[in-house]
Structure 1
Amino acid sequence: MRAKQHGYYKVGTNKGVPRIWLQGGNLTASNFHKGQPFETVFNIDTRTIVLRLLDTPNENCRFVSGRVNNKTKIVTPIIELAKSKLIDITGQATKVRVDFYENEIHISIHHLDCKIEEREARLKRNVTNGEITKGVVCVGIGVSAAAGHDALSSQLHCKTKFVVDRERKYLDLLTQNNHAIDGTTKIFEASLEEIEPELLDYVDILSFSLPCSGMSLSGRSKNRIKIPEEHATDATAVFGLIKIIDACNPSILVSENVVPAMHSATYVLLKSLLAMYGYNIAERTLSSEQTNSFENRERYWFVATSQNLPTVDLANFPKFAPKYSNLASLLDCIPHASNMWKSTKEKIRKAAVNKAAGKGFGFNLVDPNITQRIGTIGKGYQKDRATECHIAGPNNTMRLLTPSELARAQSVPAHLIQNVCDSTAYEGLGQGVDFLQAFGIFQCLLRDVLTN
Structure 2
Amino acid sequence: MATLIEKKIGEHRGVSRVYIEGLRLAREGFQPGMTYQRIIKAEEGKIVLRLIDSGDYVVSKKNIRDTELPVLDIRTEELTKIAGNSGRVRILIANKCIVILRHFNDEKIADRMLRMLNEVEQGKLSVASLFHGGGVASGGIHCGLKIAGISSKLAMAVEIEDAYIESSLRNNPDLWDENSVVINAGVEGVRYHQSGIPRVSLLESGIPCTGAASAGKAKLGLTFAEDHPTAGAAFFYTLQAIDFMNPCLIVIENVKNYAKTASASIIRSVLGNLGYSMQEILLKGEDFGALENRERWIMLATTIGLEEFIKLDDIYKFRSAPPAKIQEILESDVDNSRWKEYTYLREKEARDIAAGKGFRMQILNEESTSCPTLTRGYSRVRSTDPILSKNDGSDLLRLFTPAEHARLKTIPESVLDGLSETIAHQIAGQSVVYNWFVAIGRLIGDGLQSYQSTQSKQSAA
* TM-score normalised over the length of structure 2: 0.91
- CA 1:147 to 1:276, structure 2 compared with 1: closer, same or farther past 3 Å? same
Tell me the distance in 2 between the aligned counterparts of 1:88 and 1:354.
69
Q: What corresponds to 1:38 in structure 2?
A: 36
State which of 127, 148, 159 in structure 2 corresponds to 1:134. Answer: 127
Q: Secondary structure at the match of 1:451?
A: helix
Tell me the distance in 2 between the aligned counterparts of 1:14 and 1:427.
63
Contact 1:36 1:63 survives alignment (8 Å): yes
Say which structure is richer in helix: 2
- The one-character-per-residue Cα deviations of 1:33-54 (angstroms, maximum 9, x if unpaired) are 3443322111233322111223
Tell me the distance in 2 between the aligned counterparts of 1:364 and 1:86.
65
Contact 1:256 1:301 survives alignment (8 Å): yes
Tell me the distance in 1 between the aligned counterparts of 2:13 and 2:432.
51
Deviation at 1:344, TM superposition (A): 4.9
Alignment RMSD (CA, Å): 1.9
Q: What corresponds to 1:143 in structure 2?
A: 136
State which of 77, 102, 127 in structure 2 corresponds to 1:109. Answer: 102
State which of 293, 297, 300 in structure 2 corresponds to 1:303. Answer: 300
Tell me the distance in 2 between the aligned counterparts of 1:88 and 1:321.
47
Q: What corresponds to 1:392 in structure 2?
A: 389
Deviation at 1:92, TM superposition (A): 4.1
Specify the code of the residue in structure 2 equivalent to 1:165.
E
How many residues are treated as equivalent by the alignment?
443
Contact 1:41 1:51 survives alignment (8 Å): yes
Specify the code of the residue in structure 1 equivalent to 2:413.
A
- CA 1:16 to 1:342, structure 2 compared with 1: closer, same or farther past 3 Å? farther
Specify the code of the residue in structure 1 equivalent to 2:274.
Y
- CA 1:430 to 1:15, structure 2 compared with 1: closer, same or farther past 3 Å? farther
Specify the code of the residue in structure 2 equivalent to 1:369.
E
State which of 80, 91, 96 in structure 1 corresponds to 2:73. Answer: 80
Q: Does 1:169 align with 2:163?
A: yes
Deviation at 1:102, TM superposition (A): 3.3
Tell me the distance in 2 between the aligned counterparts of 1:383 and 1:289.
26
Q: Does 1:194 align with 2:194?
A: no
Tell me the distance in 2 between the aligned counterparts of 1:202 and 1:16.
39
Listed as ranges, the matches of 1:124-273 within 5 Å are 124-154=117-147, 155-178=149-172, 179-198=174-193, 199-273=196-270
State which of 357, 379, 383 in structure 2 corresponds to 1:382. Answer: 379
Deviation at 1:160, TM superposition (A): 1.4
Q: Secondary structure at the match of 2:375?
A: coil
- CA 1:53 to 1:182, structure 2 compared with 1: closer, same or farther past 3 Å? closer
- The one-character-per-residue Cα deviations of 1:239-294 (angstroms, maximum 9, x if unpaired) are 32222212211111110111111111112112211111111110111012421311
State which of 53, 57, 66 in structure 2 corresponds to 1:62. Answer: 57
Contact 1:29 1:100 survives alignment (8 Å): no
Deviation at 1:356, TM superposition (A): 2.3
Tell me the distance in 2 between the aligned counterparts of 1:152 and 1:159.
11
Tell me the distance in 2 between the aligned counterparts of 1:306 and 1:106.
27
Specify the code of the residue in structure 2 equivalent to 1:322.
A
Tell me the distance in 1 between the aligned counterparts of 2:237 and 2:373.
29
Q: What corresponds to 1:425 in structure 2?
A: 424
Specify the code of the residue in structure 2 equivalent to 1:269.
I
Tell me the distance in 1 between the aligned counterparts of 2:145 and 2:362.
38
Deviation at 1:157, TM superposition (A): 2.0
Specify the code of the residue in structure 1 equivalent to 2:165.
L
Tell me the distance in 2 between the aligned counterparts of 1:18 and 1:124.
30
Q: Which moved more, 1:399-408 or 1:233-242?
A: 233-242
Specify the code of the residue in structure 2 equivalent to 1:330.
I
Tell me the distance in 2 between the aligned counterparts of 1:9 and 1:275.
18
- The one-character-per-residue Cα deviations of 1:105-127 (angstroms, maximum 9, x if unpaired) are 12222222211111111111211
Contact 1:214 1:234 survives alignment (8 Å): yes
Specify the code of the residue in structure 2 equivalent to 1:193.
E
Q: Secondary structure at the match of 1:437?
A: helix
Tell me the distance in 2 between the aligned counterparts of 1:14 and 1:403.
68
Listed as ranges, the matches of 1:277-296 within 5 Å are 277-296=274-293
Tell me the distance in 1 between the aligned counterparts of 2:144 and 2:331.
28
- CA 1:17 to 1:437, structure 2 compared with 1: closer, same or farther past 3 Å? farther
Contact 1:191 1:237 survives alignment (8 Å): no
Tell me the distance in 2 between the aligned counterparts of 1:7 and 1:240.
28
Contact 1:310 1:449 survives alignment (8 Å): no
Q: Secondary structure at the match of 1:370?
A: coil
Q: Give unmatched runs, 5+ long, in structure 1.
A: none
- CA 1:151 to 1:18, structure 2 compared with 1: closer, same or farther past 3 Å? farther
Q: What corresponds to 1:100 in structure 2?
A: 93
Deviation at 1:152, TM superposition (A): 0.8
Q: Does 1:346 align with 2:340?
A: no
Specify the code of the residue in structure 1 equivalent to 2:18.
I
Tell me the distance in 2 between the aligned counterparts of 1:275 and 1:93.
12
Q: What corresponds to 1:121 in structure 2?
A: 114
Specify the code of the residue in structure 2 equivalent to 1:55.
D
* TM-score normalised over the length of structure 1: 0.93
